[in-house]
Amino acid sequence: NHVPLLAASGASFGFAGVCTDAPSFFHGDQVHGTHIVKADTHATDPGLSKNSRVKADGVWSRHQRVWVVTADCLPVLLATADGFTVMAVHAGWRGLVAGILRQAVSVMECPPDALWGLIGPASSGVHYEVGPEVVTQLNQGPCQLTAGERAHVITPGTGDRSYVSLPRAAVFAIVRAGV
């Protein structure tokens, strides 16, 4: 039940429905922000105790398995081709608007063009309806979709509502970040 991201290179990470080995994974207390931590610096605290968990929406490592939990938000995995440096990112619309994927790429201590990105399942399109305040924020700040990108990410709905594709917004964000 564990799907490898880069099976050809022997990497042992990917998306899984249920984490059956939680004590050996590191994750943060996700807060829909842009804070990212290096799990290797928290080796003595696996990040599993809610009271002691560091607040972070991205966790990366060269030595530990990392994970994020999502519901309608987007899980994004970034990794070097050899699979030795990996990051798990929790990217909802708030994180995308705030630039979490650009931040994620910038902290990984390797060139952006050396990274691979994998975007996991999330609510999207007609299953992800938002109000005008979300559309406005997607068009400003670090996310700031171009007119061409908007056509692929935002679809008009009924009244002032719109449908958003978080996966497509994430693709544009990581490409802009150099991945």
Position of tokens 């899984």? 16
Confidence of residue 121 (pLDDT cuts 50, 70, 90): confident
The identity of residue 74, as a single letter, is L
Asked whether the CA dihedral 82, 93, 121, 38 is positive or negative, the reply is positive
Three-state DSSP at 135 gives helix
The helix/strand/coil state of 54 is coil
115 against 8, higher pLDDT: 115
Q: From CA 93, how far away is CA 159, in angstroms rounded?
A: 21
Average of per-residue pLDDT values in the chain: 81
- Cα distance between residue 26 and residue 97, in whole Å: 25
State the residue for tokens 């990212």: 36
Strand, coil or helix: what is 12?
A: coil
* Structure tokens belonging to residue 163: 């449908």
Helix axes 100-107, 166-176, angle to 10 degrees: 40
State percent of the chain over pLDDT 70: 78
- The phi-psi region of residue 47 (left if phi > 0; otherwise alpha if psi is between -120 and 50; otherwise beta) is left
pLDDT at res. 4: 36
What are the tens digits of pLDDT across the range 32-41? 888 898 887 6
**The pLDDT of residue 174:** 94
In degrees and rounded to multiples of 5, residue 56 shows phi and psi of -165, 140
